[in-house]
Structure 1
Amino acid sequence: MSCSDKFIESQTVFELPVEQTIHDLLAGYDTDGDKRITKDDAPSNKDYYMLSTKGDTVILRNTYYISNLLQELAIANDSAHPTLLISLRQIQEPPAERISRRIRTQFWDDLTRTIDAEGLDRIAHDDKMHDSKQRIYVPSTDPVAIAYFKDLEQQKPNLEVVILPKDITAEYVQSINEKPGILALKIEHNRGVPFVVPGGRFNEMYGWDSYFEGIGLLIDNRLDLAKAMVDNFCYQVTHYGKILNANRSYYLTRTQPPFLSSFIREVYHKMPRKDKEWLAESLYTCILEYETVWMQGNRYTPQTGLNRYYAGGIGIPPETEPGHFNEILETYAKERGLTIQQFEDQYKTGQLKSASLDRYFVHDRTLRESGHDTSWRLDDTAADLNSVDVNSLLYKYERDFEYLISSYFKDGFKGPNGKIYTGAYWHEQAAKRKMLMHKYLWNEQAKGYFDYNVKTQQITDFQSATNYFPLWAGLATKDEAAVMVTSLMRELKAKGGITGSSRASLEQYSGGSEVQRQWDWPNGWAPHQMMLWQGLLNYGYENEAYELAYRWLWMITRNAVDYNGTIPEKYDVVAASHKVYAEYGNVGTDFAYITRSGFGWMNASYQYGMSILPHDYIVKLDALIDPDELFK
């Protein structure tokens, strides 16, 4: 019986010796020695035979089926099972069904972490620690965490617990750069409240990643874990003053794109028994974040009444790999007759001063705060921009506040500083922002929203996926949406989904540089896809939403079929490939035998796309129908 040409449903069970079968598969098919079976392995004329318990012979001639078998053997090997019982149906599982099932039943659990006695080893042992210490920083305002971790310190000789000062300054954060550590999150009932990490080297709780992961968790009925992540976000606002870029010590001065109100609203909506006390506490904290992080200080620009990203901190972002800024530092070093390393060392200690370089790093830290690290749109200008994305997200905050208070706190809601808020108040705030965004960010000639530079007092013309966030936030008028959708499909649609920017804008703003910024053309990212699908659905553009979702899921599915189940951080959506050649590589592509966790928001985008696509599209997806043929 040949399984190379079509799916054959069968419950025939095979009993295979695990170690020997893995050895045979790799010897016969893994010709490049990467412990995976992919389309890049040299063609083989060898058929792999499996003998069933009944003596039937099955011949597998399909890379997808053989790699599925290798993956199932790897799972059995992890559990130290000497034999594997597997049916033909399992080996031939339709690809979309298989990917979605593994996300739901395996990936989320593998990406879940806790910061406590049980989970600390897993999160504290990685290359970000710089030394052999398990170092954890604990806020001085949390006596529960202080007591917990001080007690744990007595039990673990390698653990170093550092109590943060009440006033966490940029100077203090700089002073601990050489002693990096994990930041404590919420301890409840003597255990750490769990959270999901993106995966790979991103082994901590990230800002906007967590919201998108939460969408996937809610689809997969993991309300407990999604709620726990909201609780950890609220903990961060209460004890660190902001939702952190991630809970590492060097991120203490930096936030991330604001999605907390959406996260709260969606979690509460899923609660079978509405916990109004939880809603009140979470809403209070979200309003506190809105008022103190966004509507005060450098992130608010009084001249326009709008907002920008503006990360604190001093000097070179410490999380970057050695040599990342050599191209920038070389010019400054040559001016002073120094090597790059000599200049960097003296600049870090403050021995050398440079106002222009200081400003460059303000912009660099800010583009990292924006989540879009990096893009030519933000290069050396991020802190000067009233960007479309952050103002769309804050408009969504205001509308969410209006909805939640009007729906559940009709007599008003007591917020920070004792102020009583009504839904009408937040309706007015949203209307005001909408008016100001139209005044400063809407380009009537180009018929779209673009970032506004408060320093030059000019609107930019960079065509980015973030320009379309007003569709997700529900901010655009119907007429604006109509022209924006036309522009989106013309400027950013590619074979595998939406590109981070247009090719024309990349070429214009890069100045001919060969440096590839990972958030620009030709690359595509899960959060952009998910937000724009929802934005299109908000305004009734179902066909466009289905097309873009199908293109994205087809690309993920095609690559997983061809490359041993690979689910990476990002894609080249023009080539429809996970082989991305940008500055940071592609997390999630380096594994042996089987990917055990995929990548957080990529997993979520797959589950979200599967939840909105009509069934006939899923059938076509399993058949790997090329989107360019489907959407002629």
Structure 2
Amino acid sequence: MAVMGLETLVAACGPVGLSTGVSKLLTLLVTIQAAALASFGGGPNFDPKYFVDIPLRFSVNETARAFDALPRSQNNTIEPRELDQFVKEYFNPPGSDLIPSTPKDFNPNPPNFLPRVQNLSARSWALQIHGLWLELTRKVSPSVAKEPNLHTLVPLSHPVVVPGARFREVYYWDSYWVIKGLLVSGMLDTATGVVENLMELVEKYGFVPNGARIYYENRSQPPLLSMMIRAVYGKTHDQTLLKRAMPVLLKEYAFWTSEPHEVRVRDKYGEEHRLSRFWANWNTPRPESFTIDLNVTQGMNKTRQAQLYHDIATAAESGWDFSSRWMEDQQNLRTLRTSMIIPADLNAYLFQMEKNIEYFAKVLGNQTIETRFASAAKDRQRAIQRIHWSRKKGQWFDAWLSPTRCSLSKSDNRTVIYEWKQNQLTYASNFIPLWAGVLPKGDMRKEKVIEALNRSGLVQPAGIATSLRNTGQQWDFPNAWAPVVDMIIEGLDASGFARGKLMAKEIARNWLRSNYVAFEQVGKMIEKYDATSCGKIGGGGEYNPQTGFGWSNGVVLSLLQKYGWPAAEPFLCPEFS
């Protein structure tokens, strides 16, 4: 792969930032990323994200001049030793603009910690996981705010809790499970700081970006900020937090419920509904995966490339990057159609947001907002049941929009109404509306959902697989991810039906055992696991499995708090006992 110069790169792929300074910085960094791939070669240890996380030691212009002056071979590549020396001279290591920070509310032996965990092995492990908050807590260096054109990191006021490994910055939906774990650990101030940081991002951008890097400014992630606020408020009952949060949540809600995120569809009875989709504001290669995205689109014309880049970034906004869930040809990443899909889980999250805002408004005595969001939640609940729900199959399916078949609204001849069809394939996301409370208390349809999940093939000996198809993508079989497992466990437990509660407990115990066995084997918590075998680590995707790991830690702590573990019961999987 020949190295493109800065001007050639911009001409080929368009601007890669949201402002002049950002564009120049990211353009420089992705050019160096491409040069590194050409010089060092690819392979499992090449991580393109490394090259967009490195802070500059000198100005962008000075660094670019030095890069352009590096000697090239006949095929326009840079000798590896020269490039390595250049990076060491002109950049600081990735993550060096984050400062280790000991949380003030961390206690190595917190009082009343997991009182129901009596098994000594489980208790020792839980304390080790609790101790990982020390490794994952950072402060953003003051230099980031003082010299923003030298960093891709976004400045934040409060200490941050990162997922771990290559994920050196705050991520949006990860933070919900981080907060759940922090609250089990008695770290209320740190959890509140996490929420405050995310609210700052909404105030700055109008939404929470995928992560706290400038190259994530083009997209968000599953909107769980209201759930984080509710979790913290549940511990403090501090109305000051709700007053601070209300305008922030209204701003975020507007982001998700306006075009292009919001679309309109008509059900089989002719009734029109508003629902939302994922939609990244991007149609070029992702800077953090620039060389990967270029490779995926090789041979396509410019129009098709731009559409695929858009759908790749949109899949990243979904959190499920990547999965056969978004592909027309389930084995082919080049057939992503993410932006033309109405996801069942996204609309469940938005229903949840509407109910939370309604609740917060009630607490604050704001009847106008309370009434508005009670109505909005009722409308979305109806839409979810009309568009996503399958009475026959007892689950909620994504709706695929037709890119060519649409009509105008009967009430507004300027509004497009899309035709759609359910994608009746089995994914773990089909069951997330149960967790979000889309079905009211006592609704007998919950029994159908429990039975459908039980028969789905997703429930495996060591967790819940995201799908039934093994494509090599990380959000497909056999991988199981902590947030999805947690939501399904919580949904089953809250169903009100004995069978659901029993399933929830069994899944939780299998998940805890598998996480523990993996930890004993490799000495680390992992971002994803293999649902088919106890203690097996997940794989696939565009990077190596990562350790740390924020949301895995949070789910383990919250499940141990919920279910405990008897002293006499072995903590190993049956095959290891």
Q: Corresponding residue for 2:316?
A: 368
1:545 to 504, 507, 510: 504
Instruction: Give the unaligned 5+ runs of structure 1.
Output: 1-92, 121-135, 137-148, 151-159, 163-178, 187-192, 333-352, 413-419, 508-514, 590-597
Q: Corresponding residue for 2:389?
A: 442
Q: Corresponding residue for 2:472?
A: 516
Partners of 1:628 and 1:99 in 2: CA distance: 17
1:572 to 530, 550, 564: 530
Q: Corresponding residue for 2:431?
A: 468
8 Å Cα contact 2:137/2:162 also seen in 1: yes
Name the SS for the 2:221 alignment partner: coil
1:428 to 369, 372, 375: 375
8 Å Cα contact 2:209/2:216 also seen in 1: yes
Partner deviation per Cα, 1:455-482 (whole Å, 9 max, x = no partner) = 2611111211111111111112522211
- Could you tell me how far 1:355 is from its partner in structure 2? 1.5
Q: How does 1:333-482 map to 2 (within 5 A)?
A: 354-379=302-327, 380-406=336-362, 408-412=363-367, 420-421=368-369, 423-455=370-402, 457-477=420-440, 478-482=443-447
Q: Corresponding residue for 1:604?
A: 554
- Could you tell me how far 1:411 is from its partner in structure 2? 4.5
Partners of 2:380 and 2:450 in 1: CA distance: 22
Code of the aligned partner of 2:364: F
- Tell whether 2:148 aligns with 1:161: yes
8 Å Cα contact 2:293/2:309 also seen in 1: no
- Could you tell me how far 1:196 is from its partner in structure 2? 0.5
Name the SS for the 2:289 alignment partner: coil
Code of the aligned partner of 2:148: V
Partner deviation per Cα, 1:31-74 (whole Å, 9 max, x = no partner) = xxxxxxxxxxxxxxxxxxxxxxxxxxxxxxxxxxxxxxxxxxxx
Name the SS for the 1:301 alignment partner: strand
Partners of 1:371 and 1:619 in 2: CA distance: 39
- Tell whether 2:261 aligns with 1:313: no
Partners of 1:197 and 1:578 in 2: CA distance: 24
Name the SS for the 1:396 alignment partner: helix
Partners of 1:383 and 1:389 in 2: CA distance: 14
Q: Corresponding residue for 2:291?
A: 322
8 Å Cα contact 2:344/2:388 also seen in 1: yes
Check 1:468–1:576 CA distance in 2 against 1; reply closer, same or farther (3 A cut): same
Partners of 1:216 and 1:373 in 2: CA distance: 24
1:116 to 123, 133, 141: 141
8 Å Cα contact 2:122/2:565 also seen in 1: no
Partners of 2:428 and 2:152 in 1: CA distance: 34
1:295 to 227, 238, 257: 257
Partners of 1:454 and 1:549 in 2: CA distance: 36
Partners of 1:263 and 1:243 in 2: CA distance: 13
Code of the aligned partner of 2:465: T
Check 1:608–1:619 CA distance in 2 against 1; reply closer, same or farther (3 A cut): farther
CA RMSD for the aligned pairs? Answer: 2.1
Check 1:321–1:613 CA distance in 2 against 1; reply closer, same or farther (3 A cut): farther
Partners of 2:486 and 2:546 in 1: CA distance: 20
Partners of 1:220 and 1:627 in 2: CA distance: 31
- Could you tell me how far 1:288 is from its partner in structure 2? 1.5
Check 1:96–1:434 CA distance in 2 against 1; reply closer, same or farther (3 A cut): same
User: What TM-score results when the alignment is normalised by the length of structure 2?
Assistant: 0.70
Check 1:619–1:313 CA distance in 2 against 1; reply closer, same or farther (3 A cut): farther
Name the SS for the 1:182 alignment partner: coil
Runs of 4+ in structure 1 off by over 4 angstroms are: none
Q: How does 1:98-177 map to 2 (within 5 A)?
A: 98-104=124-130, 106-117=131-142, 136=144, 149-150=145-146, 160-162=147-149
Q: Corresponding residue for 2:8?
A: none
Check 1:315–1:211 CA distance in 2 against 1; reply closer, same or farther (3 A cut): same
Code of the aligned partner of 2:509: Y
Q: Corresponding residue for 1:226?
A: 191
8 Å Cα contact 1:498/1:529 also seen in 2: yes
Code of the aligned partner of 1:433: R
Name the SS for the 1:467 alignment partner: helix
8 Å Cα contact 2:514/2:573 also seen in 1: no
- Percentage identity across aligned positions? 28
1:184 to 140, 155, 179: 155
Code of the aligned partner of 1:317: R
Name the SS for the 2:170 alignment partner: coil
Partners of 2:191 and 2:506 in 1: CA distance: 28
8 Å Cα contact 2:170/2:212 also seen in 1: yes
Name the SS for the 1:571 alignment partner: strand
- Could you tell me how far 1:278 is from its partner in structure 2? 2.3
Partners of 1:269 and 1:552 in 2: CA distance: 26
- Could you tell me how far 1:260 is from its partner in structure 2? 0.9
Partners of 1:322 and 1:410 in 2: CA distance: 52
Q: Corresponding residue for 2:168?
A: 203
For the pair shown, which has the larger CA radius of gyration, 1 or 2? Answer: 1
8 Å Cα contact 1:570/1:578 also seen in 2: no
Instruction: Give the unaligned 5+ runs of structure 2.
Output: 1-118, 266-272, 328-335, 403-418
Partners of 1:449 and 1:211 in 2: CA distance: 23
Partners of 2:210 and 2:217 in 1: CA distance: 8
8 Å Cα contact 2:358/2:371 also seen in 1: yes
Name the SS for the 2:569 alignment partner: helix
Q: Corresponding residue for 1:246?
A: 211
- Tell whether 2:491 aligns with 1:535: yes
Code of the aligned partner of 1:532: I
Check 1:116–1:614 CA distance in 2 against 1; reply closer, same or farther (3 A cut): closer
Code of the aligned partner of 2:527: E
Partners of 2:557 and 2:530 in 1: CA distance: 20
Name the SS for the 2:148 alignment partner: strand
Check 1:619–1:532 CA distance in 2 against 1; reply closer, same or farther (3 A cut): farther
Partner deviation per Cα, 1:376-421 (whole Å, 9 max, x = no partner) = 1013111111101110000001111122222x12243xxxxxxx41
- Could you tell me how far 1:453 is from its partner in structure 2? 1.1
- Tell whether 2:464 aligns with 1:495: no
Partners of 2:535 and 2:221 in 1: CA distance: 28
Partners of 1:584 and 1:534 in 2: CA distance: 30
Check 1:111–1:101 CA distance in 2 against 1; reply closer, same or farther (3 A cut): same
